[in-house]
Amino acid sequence: MQKRKLGKNHLEVSALSLGCMGLSFGFGPPVEKKEGIALIRAAVELGVTFFDTAEVYGPFTNEELVGDALAPFRDQVVIATKFGFKIDPNTGQQAGLDSRPEHIKEVAEASLKRLRSNYIDLFYQHRVDPDVPIEDVAGAVKDLIQQGKVKHFGLSEAGVKTIRRAHAVQPVTALQSEYSLWWREPEREVIPTLEELGIGFVPFSPLGKGFLTGKINEETTFDKNDFRNIVPRFTPEARKANQAFVDLLRKIAERKKATPAQIALAWLLAQKPWIVPIPGTTKRARLEENIGAVSVNLTPDDLREIESAASKITVEGERYPERLQQLIDR
């Protein structure tokens, strides 16, 4: 597996990470614990060294799964987790945002126990909290770094003004935000800002929540607990309209003897040397397929062809329902 470095802090990780959320949360029922552990350990065997989780995935159960799976390899891997949500102790549900410094430090202690570790490699603010100055957030993480409990500070779905303000207090190693061939908003302001400041980029949903694999069409039905049921971009009408992206990927894939998913990931890897996508999966075959994207070489001509064709396609549907759009920092 090729390695990449995130940011000026030179956090070295595998070129592809494993997003672990879907093993416990978001895409239907959680997998059996032994299956989740087997998948994560298979990723280690295949060269993945970067694993992404969060306290809110489950909540809590995903961190426990990742901690158990990676305990034998702890010094060989990089674990990213996140803070920033309030979790109702009675219902276990998200109950708004909470990035108060004292809460950040409480979350860190609890995450360390669940991860079976005495340090967190990369600690992201999961969503920007408009009620807490980002300087206070960065200061709290800086304290944790000085204590040796955290190694690197990250932000998720943060806008450029927030990124700059946070970075001035505690250097930001990585930004995690959605980025793929069908969500290219970061190219406007975010990616140039990251390049200027020397911050790595970790795109989540690099396969468009599964759509860019070519395995989903307008007739696909999702489990009742799958959050894609409420995503406007996944209505049957939107899926039918957005099939043009899959057709484009499939055309390139056939020529490259690859799959649409591999082309989607290879396209991301080709954008910048400090971009590390985090596709998630619950299946070993998909894990192996995703990792195969690292070996797909897209030439300048291939990239120009993709760019030209993609620029003529209009994406149908918002990427989040309105209530979740409000959690995105501008």
Give the dihedral sign, CA 317/322/324/329: positive
Q: Of the listed 57, 119, 179, 320, which one is catalytic?
A: 57
β-pairing, 150-156 vs 172-178, is parallel
DSSP-derived 3-state class of residue 69 = helix
Quickly list H helices, the chain.
Answer: 33-45, 61-70, 101-114, 134-146, 160-169, 190-197, 236-256, 260-271, 284-292, 300-310, 322-325
> What is the distance between the alpha carbons of residues 190 and 322, in angstroms, rounded to a whole number?
22
30 C-beta neighbours (distance < 10 Å), count = 20
DSSP per-residue codes, 118-183: S-EEEEEESS--TTS-HHHHHHHHHHHHHTTSEEEEEEES--HHHHHHHHHHS-EEEEEEE-BTTB
Phi, psi of 12 (to 5 degrees): -90, 130
> What is the distance between the alpha carbons of residues 257 and 283, in angstroms, rounded to a whole number?
21
> What is the distance between the alpha carbons of residues 199 and 12, in angstroms, rounded to a whole number?
13
Side-chain-facing half-sphere of 288: CA atoms under 13 Å: 5
> What is the distance between the alpha carbons of residues 129 and 327, in angstroms, rounded to a whole number?
8
**Nearest alpha-carbon partner for 76 in 45, 47, 51, 49:** 49
Side-chain-facing half-sphere of 281: CA atoms under 13 Å: 22
Instruction: Reply yes or no on whether 57 is catalytic.
Output: yes
What are the residue numbers of the active site?
57
